[in-house]
Structure 1
Amino acid sequence: EQKSKYARAKLISITKQSKSRVEPQCQHFGLCGGCDLQMLDLEKQIQFKKQKITDLFSRSFSTQKITDKMSAAELPWEKTIESSPWHYRRKARIGVQFDKKAHATIGFRQKLTNQLASIKSCPVLVEPLNVIFPLLKKLLLQLTVKSAIGHIEVIQADIIEKSKQESRQKDNQVVIVVRQLKPMNETDIGLWQSYALQHHWHVIIDDGNKQLPLVSNMAGKSTVLSYELTDRSKVYFSSSDFIQINHQVNTAMINQALVWLNLSASENVLDLFCGLGNFSLALAQHAKCVVGVEGVQGMVDKAIQNAHINGLDNCQFYQTDLNSDWLTESWAKEHKFDKVLLDPARAGAEQAVLQVAELAIPSVLYVSCDPATLARDSAILISKGYK
């Protein structure tokens, strides 16, 4: 298939196998659209990704007319942050599709289509989430209200169960969020409760307007989710919030950020796209002041709450659209920032880095989940005088 800037092909057969080819561990690899590189040796995967980043940087430098072209050897590579290649993902959305007879397919989207691949297990998910698919399918077959579920989200998290009488914390629990399209009857509520009790699940029902624990009305309980950072501080979140899906890598990223920023107790730090305070809480342990800025007010409210719960009084959080002109905002005018950390979504931080450069913040640390926008934004910073 020929596109304007690329061609798309389908593998028909392998005439000569590469020495770097390995047997994919997942039985659904090739059909499921979740993973692309399981057939490649892990070390070669890292090399492939490095080369991709190098190519993207080269193109972005050309777009910005930067003469200092970087080769793979010249990019300042640090030691790769890695975790186990299997059983690392702590949060996933499982699709549910029903046929005309209300039989459910449970799994992830197939490649290049909206149709689901029926999944039996996923070695990328943490245990026991990796083998939850057959249990969910068996449960759905028994429900009396048919074709009533849009999707199911699975999360591994520490939880605090609160009631009027007590508060109990449990670590590494399985949380299941059910997107319920039709009201549940007592039979189906009882079925979910039975499975939850048997498999130690904490079930949350999402009716499209609110999320409530399955047993909240009956037992007066609420469930609070959290995960722990290396300094023992806690990040509290709700099931609909974005969190880093690899806990081990997230911890390593935070520790590496602290090393690179090398903060002192006299420095002010700006944390853009701060979310729940994932980086802010750690930065605040070492800096004079941390100003976190996020586009979603609900996340800002939770970041404020997280700082308060963790006893941090040197954090300030603000809601601002970081894709707009924010230099006139009070938090941007009232502080002289020594360092800035950015952790944007895949769309990157084009407008933000332009304004960071205008503020002339001396040190910039950019955490990225998309190499294309990282290369684009890095080229902008370098064109403005950063090295």
Structure 2
Amino acid sequence: MKKQNSLFARKPAKSPKSKASMDYPETLEIIGLSHEARGIAKHNGKTIFVTGALTGETVRYEISKKHRRFDEAECVEVITPSPNRVEPFCQYYGQCGGCDLQHLEHSEQIKAKESLVLDQLQRLGKFNPESTTPPLSGSDQEYRRSCRIGINQLMRDGTPIIGFRRRGSSKLLQVDNCPILINPINKILGKLKAVLSEADSCKEITHAELSMGDQQGAMTLRIKKPLPESLSSSLQKLAEDNEFRLYFDNGQQINAFGDEADLSYQLEKSETQIGFKPGDFIQVNASVNTQMINRAMDWLDLKDNDRVLDLFSGVGNFSLPLATKAGSVIGVEGVEDMVQRAQNNAKQAGLNNCEFYRADLSKDLKALPWYKQGFSKILIDPPRTGALEVIKQLEQHQCDQILYVSCNPSALARDGAELIRQGYKASKFCVMDMFPHTSHVESLVLFEK
């Protein structure tokens, strides 16, 4: 294969010394990928993280930042390409900060993520899952059903900028179409600039949150003060012409401008509808979300005498499917509005064996009535910070199974080590390709007594 210029090549931030003066070689051999999707190289015992490089490649590079224990670099030319290197499909790749791995063949991305998680579990958590099951994955394009889009205005001429942050910068890159967004959101993205260009100013809008249910979507604009009626009406027309409804978020509350959206999604092979509101957390990848729920149901193998605790339950994404098989389900969530949404979803589904409570899951739960009742199985779906505080409190229950849904391998390693200390074994593991072409990786681990 011939030499290739790197898509990530750019002038590095001040590099005070040449590579020669630092006794650095002109090229580097890449021996692996970091959890941030950067190539890993070694020189004189020091690690160098190289953006845009892949395992097995020989690259030319420029040092961008120096640290005591490691250095950072930018790949400027690929001398010997990896056989798994591919041409990115997005015109903004390398400039936009959203994707990290479009230059790596998709199936190889999943393999790399699986290896990275297993490495962290062994290295940081000191445990290895007994079995690894096939990854969960779907389409690697047009998969994302929610996103945040930045909005700004050029000072020199007032031209609106609508897009995502540039790689390694807080500045926005104008993006007219994003291949990983589902088509209805892309339609809004492509037309929003034209609407804002007709206004005298759009400086009062900082960003837009776009989310799509099965039938309708919501376009929520974060505003610093109320917009002129004419601009609001134009934005409302844009939204409604594309099966969205317009909302404004003033930092205190989110209000619909006109009719509210009918936001919900139906889980495949199920009649269960999950309703949500703008601002609620939902899994962005509908296909992988369905596969994740199905695998959770399979691994937990629920019986009608099981009492299940669903921690960080949100709007009931796991709780409702679990309740169709278990005897009872208790969902616990930190956001009161989402607790109310989950209760409504259970009522609409005719599931009377669900109860939902609000609680701060970083605090002591032992005095709470629902906690004292005991559980046979527990599902934990925490944020990136993990769930160490609540896991330490679960020891008294000694339940049969704990299913951990992870979006942060290092938090999973730490929390998993605590469960191992409590006498559990990590019996099953898989990664989930919830965010193709990014460095983000989610995984499932089943802990059993």
Q: Same fold (TM over 0.5)?
A: yes
Query: Does 1:343 pair with 2:349?
Result: no
Contact 2:136 2:292 in 1 (8 A): yes
262-271 vs 181-190, which moves further:
181-190
TM-score, length of structure 2 as denominator length: 0.76
CA–CA separation in structure 1 for the residues paired with 2:293 and 2:186: 26
Compute the displacement of 1:75 (Å). 5.1
Compute the displacement of 1:347 (Å). 0.7
The AA in structure 2 aligned to 1:364 is: I
SS of the aligned residue for 1:10 comes to: strand
Matches within 5 A, 1:95-244: 95-100=150-155, 101-158=157-214, 171=215, 173-215=216-258, 221-230=259-268, 231-244=270-283
Tell me which stretches of 4 or more aligned residues in structure 1 moved more than 4 Å: none
* Inter-CA distance 132–189: structure 2 relative to 1 (3 Å threshold): closer
Identical positions, percent: 38
Contact 1:144 1:188 in 2 (8 A): no
CA–CA separation in structure 1 for the residues paired with 2:286 and 2:396: 34
SS of the aligned residue for 1:28 comes to: coil
TM-score, length of structure 1 as denominator length: 0.88
CA–CA separation in structure 2 for the residues paired with 1:209 and 1:282: 33
Task: From 46, 54, 57, give the equivalent of 2:121.
Answer: 57
Contact 1:87 1:130 in 2 (8 A): no
SS of the aligned residue for 2:248 comes to: strand
Normalized per residue, the structure richer in strand is 2
Compute the displacement of 1:6 (Å). 4.3
CA–CA separation in structure 2 for the residues paired with 1:274 and 1:174: 22
Query: Does 1:251 pair with 2:290?
Result: yes
The AA in structure 1 aligned to 2:376 is: D
CA–CA separation in structure 1 for the residues paired with 2:379 and 2:399: 10
Tell me the residue number matched to 1:300.
339
Contact 2:158 2:201 in 1 (8 A): no
* Inter-CA distance 284–11: structure 2 relative to 1 (3 Å threshold): same
Contact 2:245 2:260 in 1 (8 A): no
CA–CA separation in structure 1 for the residues paired with 2:242 and 2:360: 42
Tell me the residue number matched to 1:65.
none
CA–CA separation in structure 1 for the residues paired with 2:217 and 2:290: 20
**C-alpha RMSD of matched pairs (Å):** 1.8
CA–CA separation in structure 1 for the residues paired with 2:290 and 2:68: 41
Query: Alpha-carbon deviations, 1:229-286, whole Å to 9, x = none?
Result: 2321111111111110001111111111111101001110010111111100011111
CA–CA separation in structure 1 for the residues paired with 2:383 and 2:394: 17
SS of the aligned residue for 1:276 comes to: coil
Gaps of 5+ in 1: 63-68, 159-170, 216-220
Contact 1:54 1:75 in 2 (8 A): no
The AA in structure 1 aligned to 2:227 is: M
Matches within 5 A, 1:30-49: 30-49=94-113
CA–CA separation in structure 1 for the residues paired with 2:327 and 2:243: 43
Compute the displacement of 1:308 (Å). 1.4
Gaps of 5+ in 2: 1-64, 426-449
Matches within 5 A, 1:7-22: 7-22=71-86
1 or 2 for the larger relative contact order (CA 8 Å, sep ≥6)?
2
CA–CA separation in structure 2 for the residues paired with 1:377 and 1:4: 30
Aligned residues: 359
CA–CA separation in structure 1 for the residues paired with 2:187 and 2:88: 17
